[in-house]
Structure 1
Amino acid sequence: MKLDWLQGLRGLAVLGVVFTHGRYLLSGTPNFVLADAFFRPGAMGVDLFFLISGFIMVYTTQNASGVRNAAVFAVKRFARIWPAYAVVTLLWIFVRRDGLSFFQDAEQLRFLFRSLTLRPQVPEQAPYFGLVFPLAWTLAFEMYFYIVFGISMLAGRLRWLVLASWMLLTLVLLPLNHGGPTLNVQQFLQFRSGYMQLVTNPIIYEFLAGVVIGLLYLSPRVRFPNVSVAWQAVICSVGFVLWWGWSGVGDFHGPAGWGWPLAVMLLVLAVASKTVTLNMPRWLVWTGTVSYSMYLTHYLSQLVLISWLEKRGLHTQSWNEIFLALLLAIPVASASHWLLERQLGGWTRRKLVLLVDRVLPAPPVPEGLDVIKMAKVAPRKM
């Protein structure tokens, strides 16, 4: 079952990120201060993505557990994230880095391999970690949480206890003797392993909050008593997020920054959607559908736009260029969604699912129940 209100939130999140990076088009001009005040809070779209990711993982696996389901979950998530990311990283090298000469340097190749495996390159630069493709830091956290979430599915009914125990270990107990724990996502704890800097980073609390919100959404007991209270909660929670972001009170990623008001808002919207209809414009739902591709490609297309304008003497560093960057991001995201997500990612997904079927075949459906199952279970597409 597709949740349009959630797709709409994805659309808002990615547009916020697009405008955040669009403000760099005015760098060095008198207008940058105003552009920074308007557009920098749009970076909270990343925190909203993390919250939504945790929510969706719960929503799409509510009846799934065991080895086979965990394996299918893992390969589907890998197929959705990694192939498109790998292609965009290579494009980034040719557009922004050294092109072919990049591949002639052995150290650069090692750097690329570590980046493609989403391992922190510069642990001191949390939460970004200095990957080849700078926007990939969010994917490093995504893939890590996918792994942990998938492993927790192996525990069956104890999956939430296993997940909570792992989070307690990595976010609280392990940091105790290394300068933490804290809620500062820019923290540098005294771990030798760079990857430990990632798994102990408090921004992971946002995924965990999304999981909790997903569980509350699925609970039939958690709902607003009436329509009036639901709408009041929606208006107040959305308004508070806008105030928190644009007043400057919250000014960075993480649960203590933009994260916690967004978590409250997502919880309110999720619970309210069971009482009222949260209509989203179709264009915003579509933007949510291509949001991953737009996130991956918008900064790359922005740099291409600047280069094209500069070569023709048209780079004026004016407000209209932010509008042009948004216009370019739309068709590029659409093409990337079709080519990289649906075609390349879809092909990868099919191949990996077939491999899972060979190694872990699905249990046979008892005779006479297959038709009933098909009638009762609606496909879930998120």
Structure 2
Amino acid sequence: MPLQNASNRQYYFGLDLIRFASACLVLLFHLGYSTWQPESGARDIVRGAYAIPEASLFWFGGMGVQIFFVISGFVIANSAQGATPYRFFRSRALRLYPAAWICATVSLITLLAFTERPVLNLLWRYLHSITLFPLSPWIEGVYWTLAAEIIFYALMFLLIAARRLDRLETFSNLMGGISIAFIALVACNRNGLVQIEHLEGFRKTVGRYLPLWYGVFFSLGMNLWLFTRRRLSKASAVYTVALFLTCCFQIYLAFHGTDIEEGISDDGSRQAWQVPVFVFIVAMAGLFASTHWPAVDRSIPLFAREPLRRLGLVTYPLYLIHFSLGVILIKGLIATGVSPMLAFVASSVLVFLLCLYIATQLEPALRQRFGHVLDRTERRFGLR
């Protein structure tokens, strides 16, 4: 989502680039690696029709989600400043719902036309998706991250409603501290230092929706925003380093050990946990440089700024729509005689072009109409 500084309206082009790169990581992970693995949620679509060994180098791409959560913490801390509870709700609703309505509809049509999944089940998943109901099932598995985002938004909404945004630093540090404790508990449980039955099951369900398993990433983003605004205390600046290190440790836990993240096969590649950690460090360095040193963004040539802005707009629909549509496109192209790797590349490009159309044509029009509805509601009930 585009980000502007509340005080000087500065636009952070670097965030758009990092956000888009993160979405591409997730797309490459799903279409190039995880969807043709035996444990994939797309196995009923693929049915062993293809494999793309050349694209296995994207096995770590799922960690784009962690980068998203840091950016979200930064963006929401910024957008909450000076906002009333209703205005904060309005901005989040306008950002999330129009694209979700369009993308969930495309996914529904795709799955109805090209799979044998039960119609009633798909409609139930579709209903969950267009309402952004924070409990599964959804039309696409990637919607789980929206559930985590919405819970984070709800906590920020309560902070705004309580008129305690002046305690954002305390709120962020508390969320981060609880998440650090949970991650440490998971690590101790895996190494036999404690024995808590069903902890891994809790981590994979409730723990990933509540800011427990991923809470440190939201907190890191909020603290980076506070630091950029020179509102972070020295003690919290040191604490932010601990948040960053814990984020790296969480990624290590996700990609190393006996219980790895869903969608990654036990093929030895998971031992290279240094790769996702390094990618995360590079992304955070880029985020810090773009937001803390305005000269970095100002150095971007004028001709490149509008394309970067468009890439930022594409990110959300690209993330929501790529999974089933991309898999079906790959399978269809391979059926016509195209090589798996070429089908993978062509499908990725086609999905991107569709998302570019959604982000620049369909979504703005729908968002404008939805905004009018919210404006009328605001006037009718005297909301501010």
- TM-score normalised per structure 2: 0.67
- Give 1:42 deviation, angstroms: 3.1
Q: How does 1:236-275 map to 2 (within 5 A)?
A: 248-250=272-274, 262-263=283-284, 265-273=286-294
- Give 1:272 deviation, angstroms: 3.2
RMSD: 4.4
Matched, 1:219 2:219: no
Distance change in 2, residues 1:353/1:341 (3 Å): same
- Give 1:14 deviation, angstroms: 2.0
Q: How does 1:177-326 map to 2 (within 5 A)?
A: 180=185, 187-189=200-202, 198-219=209-230, 248-250=272-274, 262-263=283-284, 265-273=286-294, 277=298, 279=300, 281-282=304-305, 283-310=307-334, 313-318=336-341, 320-326=342-348
Q: How does 1:1-382 map to 2 (within 5 A)?
A: 1=9, 2-24=11-33, 32-37=52-57, 39-64=58-83, 69-96=84-111, 105=120, 110-115=124-129, 116-121=131-136, 131-157=138-164, 158-160=166-168, 163-164=171-172, 167=175, 171=179, 180=185, 187-189=200-202, 198-219=209-230, 248-250=272-274, 262-263=283-284, 265-273=286-294, 277=298, 279=300, 281-282=304-305, 283-310=307-334, 313-318=336-341, 320-361=342-383
Cα distance per residue 1:33-53 (max 9 Å; x no partner): 44212x233333222221111
* Identity value in percent: 19
- Distance in 1 (alpha carbons) for counterparts of 2:99 and 2:141: 15
Cα distance per residue 1:62-88 (max 9 Å; x no partner): 333xxxx22111122122212322332
Contact 1:297 1:332 in 2 (8 A): no
Distance change in 2, residues 1:270/1:26 (3 Å): same
- Give 1:154 deviation, angstroms: 1.9
Contact 2:144 2:209 in 1 (8 A): no
Contact 1:54 1:211 in 2 (8 A): yes
Gaps of 5+ in 2: 1-8, 38-47, 191-198, 234-247, 256-268
Contact 2:334 2:343 in 1 (8 A): no
Amino acid at match of 1:13: S
- Distance in 2 (alpha carbons) for counterparts of 1:32 and 1:249: 22
Distance change in 2, residues 1:206/1:81 (3 Å): same
Amino acid at match of 2:310: W
- Give 1:353 deviation, angstroms: 3.4
Contact 1:213 1:266 in 2 (8 A): no
Gaps of 5+ in 1: 122-129, 223-239, 363-382
Cα distance per residue 1:280-306 (max 9 Å; x no partner): 744344212221122222334423423
Amino acid at match of 1:287: L
- Give 1:190 deviation, angstroms: 8.9
Structure 1 partner of 2:193: none
- Distance in 1 (alpha carbons) for counterparts of 2:30 and 2:65: 12
- Give 1:259 deviation, angstroms: 5.5
- Give 1:310 deviation, angstroms: 4.7
Distance change in 2, residues 1:50/1:317 (3 Å): same
- Distance in 2 (alpha carbons) for counterparts of 1:134 and 1:26: 15
Distance change in 2, residues 1:347/1:171 (3 Å): same
SS in 2 for 1:188: helix
Structure 2 partner of 1:125: none
